[in-house]
Amino acid sequence: MNPMTHNTSDPPLWKLFRDDLRQGGLPDALRREVGELKHQLLSDSERDRLEEMGTVTRFLSLCWWLFRAVLLHMSPLRRVLVVVGVVLIAASGSGDTGLKVHVPGGVALLAVLMLELKDKLLLRRELEGGHAVQRAMRPPTSPKVPGWEVWLFTRSANEVGGDLLDFLALDERRYGIVLGDVAGKGLSAALLGVKLQATLQAFARESPTLGLVAERLNSLFCQDGPSSYFASLVFLEFSPENGIVRAVNAGHLPPLLVRSESIDTLPRGGAALGILKNAEYPQQEISMVRGDQLVLISDGVTEAENDAGEQYGEDHLKEYLFRSRATHTSELGEGLVRAVEHHMGNARQKDDITIAVLKRVS
């Protein structure tokens, strides 16, 4: 259904408004929205200056700076309508003309609101289409591989995300897990992520080593990718026949090897894709026994923040993984997601959260 059409099954507006008031949390939502406005529309120097001001001066300056920033981001027509609307409403309190001008002033502002909403709905439709494509390309949550347990999870912070997660059946004896992160957010990062995923699927089946896969990806990324973009990536290859896992790391957070009595951080690999044209990517080998687990995450896990700006962090991550090391991969992964959500509380998810868990079970 077109989001701009009216659905006869929609509840009356007064009921929606009543439910909005009853659900509570509006003051927290307002503070969160204002904080995001400040982050998106104000410069670093303006935010620093606000901290040095008194309460009244800070409020007035914030209102003016946000109003100015909104006007600067509008089209000429909408900018004129906003200014005219504000002037007419301000003039409505003076003399006998008040009743004559406040109505057209309100209509002008309402027209701008409707035009902005129209743009937002059109953009949402496009993003929902992109989200559907990403969802179709996602691997199953628990792929079946003899001798192994696998659990995969990704959740975007927005409609589309820049995290890459894939499971590859390279041949009858080789399987692969890929977890990556394209720098940036939104549609541009998502498009590059889809291109990276498709290219990797082609390279992985024809390259003799994982290091060569990473080198070819890096060369292509440096050649064709936008200059301001790069991507980190971890690629694991394993087999039902033994517990040997081969890995290559291109600038990503190192995987964590969770054993019965310890947690080891694997060595960092080469540079992120798109940084150094002739970067080299050494292949690592990990020997896993029954019960050992490899955990791959995106930085959306460790950098998840609560309302106070405190990150979940690597210490909390390792503490949780060691405490949950004996559980199934799905229980460990789902528990980690809940732990991160509990840490964030009411704070908005700012970055994509992606997790892959590989466990040797025989």
Tens of pLDDT, residue by residue over 84-138, are 888 888 877 655 554 567 788 888 888 888 888 888 877 777 666 666 666 666 7
Percent of the chain's residues with pLDDT above 90: 42
What does pTM read for this prediction?
0.74
**E strands, 99-182, where?**
148-155, 163-171, 174-182
C-alpha distances out from residue 230 to 153, 182, 185, 272, 275, Å: 22, 6, 12, 7, 7
Taking all residues of the chain, what is their mean pLDDT, rounded to a whole number? 86
Residue type, 304: A
In the predicted structure, residue 11 carries a pLDDT above the cut 80: no
Domains belonging to the chain, first-starting first, are: 13-130 (no CATH), 138-360 (3.60.40.10)
| CA–CA gap between residue 5 and residue 3 (Å, rounded) | 6
pLDDT band, very low/low/confident/very high, at 239 (cuts 50, 70, 90): very high
Q: Are 343 and 304 in contact (CB under 8 A)?
A: yes
In the predicted structure, residue 1 carries a pLDDT above the cut 50: no
In the predicted structure, residue 282 carries a pLDDT above the cut 60: yes
Span of 135-139, 259-263, 271-275, 295-299 with lowest mean pLDDT = 135-139
pLDDT band, very low/low/confident/very high, at 41 (cuts 50, 70, 90): confident
Please count the other Cβ atoms lying within 10 Å of the Cβ belonging to residue 137.
15
In the predicted structure, residue 38 carries a pLDDT above the cut 80: yes
In the predicted structure, residue 150 carries a pLDDT above the cut 60: yes
Count of CA atoms in the C-beta half-sphere (13 A) of 359: 22
pLDDT digits (tens, 9 = 90+) for 306-356: 988 899 999 999 999 999 998 999 999 999 999 999 999 988 888 899 999
Q: Are 359 and 324 in contact (CB under 8 A)?
A: no
| CA–CA gap between residue 310 and residue 292 (Å, rounded) | 30
Parallel, antiparallel, or unpaired: how do β-strands 263-265 and 256-258 relate? antiparallel
pLDDT band, very low/low/confident/very high, at 295 (cuts 50, 70, 90): very high
Percent of the chain's residues with pLDDT above 70: 89
pLDDT digits (tens, 9 = 90+) for 177-233: 999 998 866 667 777 888 888 889 889 888 889 999 999 999 988 887 666 678 999
Q: Are 347 and 305 in contact (CB under 8 A)?
A: yes
Q: Which residue bears the tokens 């309508």?
A: 81
In the predicted structure, residue 15 carries a pLDDT above the cut 90: no
Q: Which residue bears the tokens 């003309």?
A: 97
Maximum CA extent, the chain = 89
Encoding tokens for residue 95?
């003399």
In the predicted structure, residue 263 carries a pLDDT above the cut 90: yes
pLDDT (0 to 100) of residue 202:
86
